[in-house]
Amino acid sequence: MAEKHFKYVILGGGVAAGYAAREFVKLGLNPGELAIISKESVAPYERPALSKAYLFPQGAARLPGFHVCVGSGGERLLPEWYAEKGIELILGTEIVKADLASKTLTSAADVIIKYDILIIATGSTVIRLSDFGVQGADANNIFYLREIDDADKLVAAIHAKKDGKAVIVGGGYIGLELGAALKLNNLDVTMVYPEPWCMPRLFTAGIAAFYEGYYANKGIKIIKGTVAVGFDSDTNGDVTAVKLKDGRVLEADIVVVGVGGRPLITLFKGQVEEEKGGIKTDGFFKTSIPDIYAVGDVATFPLKLFNEQRRVEHVDHARKSAEQAVKAIKAAEEGKPIEEYDYLPYFYSRSFDLSWQFYGDNVGDTILFGDNDPTSAKPKFGTYWIKEGKVVGVFLESGSPEENKLIAKVAKLQPPVQDPEQLEKEGLAFAACV
C-alpha cells in the first residue's frame, strides 16, 4: 500500500483549494509541504463558469482559461504553477476514508495520505431525483451539473440533440442559468418548479416577476406549482418525456435537474462537530478537532455581521474562507494573532444580458425600486431589505461596478431608514449617499 505524508493537505480540489494554495504561497511555503487531493482530474478552476460561459454556443470557456484565480481578477494558476511551487496535485483521486484521529486519508485505490494539518474543502454534491425514487430518473440525458465532467456530458448532449427540446427541473440559480444557456443553444426550453416564483430563497415576488417575464420573452416556457414525478425513455434508454404531478407530460430530449445540493461531509461523520448541516468552525475555520480546518461550502461558521452560525454555498465565501484558514494556520505557527472572519454575504448570477448582485441578508420588509419591466430596453432595478429600521440587504440588476460597490457598502454599514416611501423614490441614489 503506497503511503505519502505532507505537512498540509487540502482535501478537495475546487475553488477553495485553489485560493488556499495561492495564500500558502503568498505567506511562505516550502516545496513538498502541500498536497491537494481531488476527485476531479483537473487543477482547481472557477466552478461558476460551468453553468455560464462553458455552455455558450460560440466562444465557450474551456480550461485552461478559467483556472483559479481569474474569477476574482487574480493570477491564473495553471497546473505548472503548482509544480513550480512544489505543491503536489493528487488528481483523479477520491478519498473514501478519513480517520481524523490518526490523521490518515485513504483513497479508493488504497493510497494512504497522512498530514499534520488538514483543510477540508470537499464542497457540495447535487441532490438527485433518484435519491427520492423518482420513476425513470436514471434515463440517459438527464443531467446534473457540479463538476467539469458533468458539463462535458451536457455539452455533448446539446450537440447530439441539436434544436431539440429541453426541460429544466428546478427554478434556482442553476435552473435559471441553464435555462438561458440551453435557449442560447437554440433548444426549445421549458422550466418546471413547484414554488410560486423562481429563486424563492432569495428573490421576492417583485424580483422574480422580472426574470420570469424576461425569460418568457426569450421564448422559455415556465410551468410553476408542480414537480416532475417520472420520466419516459425509448428503447436506447434515452429520456423522451417528463411526467408532471399535475398530469401534464412534456416531451424532452435533454433534462437538466437543479434541485439543490448538500455539503459533502459524510467522510467525517461522528468525528467532528457539525451544525446546520455543515462542519462547525470558528472564525478562523478551525473545526472542533485540532489541526483540522473546514472551508467553503462545507463550513458552518460564525457570520459576525448577523451574529449567527451560517453555511454559505457561494464562490466568494469559498475564496475568502480558504484565505482566512491559511492565514490562521500560518499565524498560529508564528504565534501571531489575526482578525476573526467578518464576512459580508455576496451572491451573483448572470444569464442572457442580465447580471445581478446581492449583498447582506434577505430578511425583513422589502422595497423594490427602479424599472423592473421585462420589456424595457434597459431594465435596471433593485430591492432593499429592511429589518428593525435598518437596511440589511440590497439586490441590484444591471448595476455598474461602481454601483455594485455602493450596494455592498450599504449592506455592510446597515444605514437606518426613516421613510420607506422616500427610499423607494430615491432608489439607488440612497446608496450613493451612504
Binding site for ligand FAD (CB under 6 A): 12-17, 37-40, 47-48, 50-51, 94-95, 121-124, 145-147, 174, 264, 267, 296-297, 313-316, 318, 347-349
Point out the residue whose Cβ comes nearest to ligand FAD.
14
**Nearest distance from residue 188's CB to ligand FAD, in Å?**
22
**Nearest distance from residue 180's CB to ligand FAD, in Å?**
12
**Nearest distance from residue 252's CB to ligand FAD, in Å?**
20
**Nearest distance from residue 222's CB to ligand FAD, in Å?**
21
The smaller minimum CB distance to ligand FAD, of residues 29 and 120, is found at 120
Instruction: Tell how strand 188-193 and strand 221-224 pair up.
Output: parallel
**Nearest distance from residue 142's CB to ligand FAD, in Å?**
16
The smaller minimum CB distance to ligand FAD, of residues 352 and 430, is found at 352
The smaller minimum CB distance to ligand FAD, of residues 349 and 414, is found at 349
**Nearest distance from residue 402's CB to ligand FAD, in Å?**
21
The smaller minimum CB distance to ligand FAD, of residues 181 and 431, is found at 181
The smaller minimum CB distance to ligand FAD, of residues 18 and 302, is found at 18
**Nearest distance from residue 48's CB to ligand FAD, in Å?**
3
The smaller minimum CB distance to ligand FAD, of residues 315 and 411, is found at 315
The smaller minimum CB distance to ligand FAD, of residues 73 and 337, is found at 73
